[in-house]
A and B are shown apart, each in its own frame.
Chain A
Amino acid sequence: MIGVAARRSLSAIPVLLIVSLISFGLMRLIPGDPAAAIAGVAATPAQIEQLRRDLGLDQPFHMQLLEYYGGLARGDLGRSLLLGKGVFAATMERLPVTIGLSLYALVFTLLIGIASGIVAALRQNSIIDQAAMMFAMIGISVPNFFLGLLMIILFAVHLGWLPSGGYVPFSQDPAGWLASTTMPAFSLALLQAGLLARITRSSMLEVLRQDYIRTARAKGLPQRQVILKHALANALIPIVTVVGIIVSLLLSGAVVTEALFSLPGMGQLLTQAVLSRDYPMVQGGLLLVTTFLVLVNITVDVLYALLDPRVRYE
């Protein structure tokens, strides 16, 4: 198992190296003069020159690259032009909001997705199955911002049950946090829940056909144990492999959800950075988020090994 973790971490190194190169390259790909583009139309030539020097864009390319990796080695991801502080510090301030939102959405995803997938598989082709799959199809087809808007119209504007936006930190007021994040988390979760329901159903159907399920029943095990132990343990294996994809989708979705519900998270930070051409922030933030995602995927692979002895003992 340590072997799996080590092997996966090693194979993540080239990926992260290329990810960092792409992030680095982005700002340099701005058509024309990047410094002028960043400074905006109202900037004077002197201001543009100043910015060029600040960003190191006046240096030869290889020096820029050296500087960049030197910075990364020191844990310095550059400075946000808009906020006037380090990219890392700015990210760390916003990250808890996004992580809280994503975890909450992940809970919805897993509960709704796995439960409805199992029930659908157990009642294959029944009304329940068809309803669950219809629901999943809607889940993967409704854009999360549209669902969010509909929920705002219904629950905030008409019923007034929940606030339409704004954020209350969990540490300040857990109930307030719940109120401010329930709609965002639910609208964010539905896509992944639909996806997971479909995957769980087909994985479960596949497993229920296996010989060892018949063996478990032939031994006189209670139905509950056959399903929840023997079938689920095997059905979860392919499900775990998509958790990485699900987290990636959650982070993507969070960008929009945060913008929609005015939650001060990573997504909002990056959208603002993009809209105000704060490229150092975009570059550093993208690198950080992606690194986080790569770490999640390593964890998923280790989890996979934990679930499947055939991989664990490889």
Chain B
Amino acid sequence: MNLLEVRGLTTAFMTGRGEVNAIEEVSFSLKEGEILGIVGESGSGKSVTALTIMGLLPQPPARVAAGEVVFNSQRLTGLSDRQMQAIRGPGISMIFQEPMTSLNPVFSIGDQIMETIAAHERLSQSDLRKRAIGMLDKVGIPSAARRLDDYPHQMSGGQRQRVMIAMALACQPKLLIADEPTTALDVTIQAQILDLLMDLRDEFGMAIMIITHNMGVIAETADRVLVMYAGRVIEEAPVASVFDRPLHPYTRGLLECVPSLIEDRPRLVAIPGTLPEPARRPPGCRFGPRCRHAQPACSEAIPTLEALEPAHTAACFRARELALP
């Protein structure tokens, strides 16, 4: 029984030029306690995927055009916002890329952690406080009790991201979605935050969906990886097999430009060309115009995910032939 099932998810946005699909036919699943990495260039649809699962996209302009999300045997697509509120927090919670702006500047961090718990559990004020202090302790904020009444602007970026994690885990969710949790942080802090997430996964046993630009982060944290390009999943595999034997030309390109495990720069730029905007995607394989191996047939149909090895799928017409040694 999978914790999360995403099936054929297509999210469309109403724009000035009509409706465009930000993500298309995205399917994957996640087991309890598993860490799934999602990589892809900026604009490939990682955040839209995460926000669609959370039901956090403003509707309109966004709309789930097809597919479904099933979490813990419950179908989330189609739930009302009020019903989703009960899921967010104790079911799925999320941390974001920008720790500097993701906390509300006018409330103390203690208040922001406590209100999260209070929204889902009936606890006395002093119990709420105790839980909040406990959480801050767990994410490694020194002298937690004293810092509870501090405001976000009194903390560093790394500390704020720790607070975000404390807040996200306060209701012990079964799934944590981390959307580029370290991109905005210093290199040394990045490693600390990743270590913290690993430790907390071991302690709480939640599943994690970690979104990143960075193959290094994937190598260090994830069990399985999902590669996205132009709104579609183009490869999915256990981390080890992706690094050993990437099947999609795009993934191969990505791996060629992993500079070091942690260093975030240069981001995925080694592949010539740019990612097409949703409204200007080429026909057939979306990667075609940038692909070294493209053939005329590639622009005639969209390749679908195909298992080439057990648990390793890729969406490329030539994957098999190119994979041959």
**Within 8 Å by CB, do A and B touch in the complex?**
yes
Residue B96 lies at the interface, judged by CB distance under 8 Å to chain A: yes
B96–A219 contact, CB under 8 A?
A: no
Residue A215 lies at the interface, judged by CB distance under 8 Å to chain B: yes
B167–A219 contact, CB under 8 A?
A: yes
Number of A-B pairs, beta carbon distance below 8 Å: 85
A219–B88 contact, CB under 8 A?
A: yes
Per-residue A-contact encoding for B76-90, CB less than 8 Å = 1, 0 else: 000001101111111
B88–A310 contact, CB under 8 A?
A: no
Residues in chain A near residue B103, CB distance under 8 A: 212, 215
Instruction: Name the residue of chain B whose CB is nearest to the CB of A237.
Output: B106
Asked if A225 meets B119 with Cβ closer than 8 Å, knowing A218-B54, A309-B151, the reply is yes
B102–A220 contact, CB under 8 A?
A: no
Residues in chain B near residue A211, CB distance under 8 A: 96, 98, 101-102
The docked-state distance in angstroms from the alpha carbon of A241 to that of B35 is 48
Per-residue A-contact encoding for B30-67, CB less than 8 Å = 1, 0 else: 00000000000000000000000010100000000000
Residues in chain A near residue B116, CB distance under 8 A: 219-221
Residue A11 lies at the interface, judged by CB distance under 8 Å to chain B: no
The docked-state distance in angstroms from the alpha carbon of A216 to that of B90 is 14
B106–A233 contact, CB under 8 A?
A: yes
Interface residues on A, range: 20 to 34
Residue B164 lies at the interface, judged by CB distance under 8 Å to chain A: yes
Which parts of A290-314 form the interface with B (CB within 8 Å)? 307-310, 313
Which residue from A218, A221, A233, A307 sits with its C-beta under 8 Å from B56? A218
B105–A234 contact, CB under 8 A?
A: yes
A307–B106 contact, CB under 8 A?
A: yes
Residues in chain A near residue B56, CB distance under 8 A: 214, 217-218
Q: Which 9 A-B pairs have the closest CB atoms?
A: A220-B89, A220-B88, A212-B104, A211-B101, A309-B151, A219-B116, A218-B94, A211-B102, A220-B85
Given contacts A215-B96, A218-B54, A220-B86, 18 further A-B contacts (CB under 8 A): A212-B101, A214-B56, A218-B93, A218-B168, A219-B89, A219-B119, A220-B85, A220-B89, A220-B119, A220-B120, A222-B85, A223-B81, A223-B85, A233-B104, A234-B105, A309-B108, A309-B151, A310-B151
Name A's B-contacting residues (CB within 8 A).
Answer: 210-212, 214-223, 225, 229-230, 233-234, 237, 307-310, 313
